[in-house]
Amino acid sequence: MYEHLKVKNIGRISYLEALTLQHDIHQKCVENPENGALLLLEHNPVITLGVKNSSAGNVLVNQSVLVSAGIELVETDRGGDVTYHGPGQLVGYPIVSLRELGLDLHSYLRSLEQVIIDLLAEYGLVGERNGPAGVWVGDKKVCSIGVAVRRMVTYHGFALNVNPDMSHFRFINPCGLNFEQISSMSELLGFVPEMNEVKAKYANKFALVFGITLEE
């Protein structure tokens, strides 16, 4: 059972740099679960394709449009469909041993959702589950979740829309949804939450839900 888990507040980083970092920590965590970590960060604008077969078909524009908008297109090894990451979106990658947590994949996903639900409640928003992994407020999805598990150690994670450029979601059917079904905390609240505050609240809720003491 985990007692402590490191939190790495990285700031803004490219998707591929973060993926390389995840793979490195993942390997170390496989060797020793105490080497796991929770990465909290923002990405440069990027559209990622999950392993679901429909991913590529849910990108609605060609490569030249994405290039002109300054958006990368990257194939990755997480579960789920196509999604967008960019500044103003809190991305979290928990790299943890499911054995040490005493969880299976289903209960792990539900716990990730619960952390977001508890975080949103701090801002007076009622988060809910609605089918595939993720969190909704009313009929708007505010958080996507897509994970991978290798040798019982997780990587990839969640993306919470705090205050991203929502126009970038028009380039895709995010997670197979329509653009109109996606929202952000700032749209729902009428003000922009401070990112470092959201990160701190997330870390606190993560520690409570998973029963782990987090260390910077």
Q: Which residues are known catalytic residues?
A: 175
Q: Is the pLDDT of residue 147 over 80?
A: yes
- CB of 135 closer than 8 Å to CB of 143: yes
Q: Where are the beta strands (DSSP E) in 71-152?
A: 72-75, 82-85, 89-95, 127-128, 134-137, 140-150
| pLDDT given for residue 75 in this prediction | 86
- CB of 158 closer than 8 Å to CB of 91: yes
| Residues 6+ positions from 13 with CB-CB distance below 8 Å | 21, 41, 42, 43, 44
DSSP assignment letter at 58: G
End-to-end CA distance of the chain: 19
Rounded to an integer, what distance in angstroms lies between the CA atom of residue 9 and that of residue 1? 23
| pLDDT given for residue 53 in this prediction | 58
Q: How far lies 142's CA from each of 125, 164, 182, 209, in Å?
A: 11, 11, 6, 20
pLDDT tens per residue, range 43-89: 999 998 877 655 667 888 888 898 888 999 988 877 677 889 999 99
Q: Which domains does the chain have, with CATH numbers?
A: 4-215 (3.30.930.10)
pTM beyond cutoff 0.85: yes
